[in-house]
Structure 1
Amino acid sequence: MVTQTVLIFSVLFGLALSAHSSPSGGMLIPDIVNRLWINSDINDDSHLSETEFFREFIDNFDHDGSRSVSENEFVHQWGHNYNEHRDVTLHVFQHFDLDGDNMLSQADLSRLFHHMDYNTDNQISKAEFTTLMAYIFGRLPYD
């Protein structure tokens, strides 16, 4: 039942977002979510493990080898990957940085991962992932 609810919620959000481009004129929001999913689902099994989630954000965004991602590292890599404006990228970063210390640590990402895992199966479906990203992008301040 939870999976069906998440899927319906995701489809509705996806339809709402499909009509919106990024406020900065970057990629369309659904394209960002799809590319991020493809980049993260390393073994292409249609689910993200916590290891895959860490690998995408720690291994690919951590440029100084500290095993955490600074705001500057995130802004640089997200902007490079998704051609997104700094303000939008900072908005995403602030939603990922759950403890508000301006660093994405494995603890932040673990909390985020488990927050997304609505059915508590220790993996993230594309519907669960899309729901979180739709929430984040849905809270963008459009001018």
Structure 2
Amino acid sequence: MGVNLFAGKFYHCFNETSEERFLPEDVNNKTQCLDLIEKGSSEVRWKNTKINFDNVGMGYLSLLQVATFKGWLDIMYAAVDSREVESQPVYEDNLFVYLYFVCFIIFGSFIPFCLFITSLINFNQRKPKISFFSMSVSPLEQLKLVLPQ
């Protein structure tokens, strides 16, 4: 679902010397960014974020990063700022994307984690208790082994 929603939408026009994005008022889409490159600005690039949803593999990697809460805010903010394919991102242009991430965190992280913990507890409760003495040793023999002679 993330690939369908966000494929190709995390690109932005980037100035590599100042290491800043161009504002959407200055560069609105890929065509305007490429025009800057043609005019001789060698430091300008139409660049994609490292973690994106352009294909299924990168989508899984992005969702894994969201599920583990490692760098997930950058992914969420890039998704919320995304507009259309080949358009420069605008700050919080797509606020409904927050629902996608909240639902994924609830159904993709918390519930599976709780199910895993529950199954671990059930497994430990059902496991037979292993005793120091085996079942074949009689109580008298057990006493002889424990008590000093």
TM-score (norm 1): 0.25
With a CA cutoff of 8 Å and minimum separation of 6, indicate the structure with the bigger relative contact order.
1
TM-score (norm 2): 0.25
The structure with more helix, counted as a fraction of residues: 1
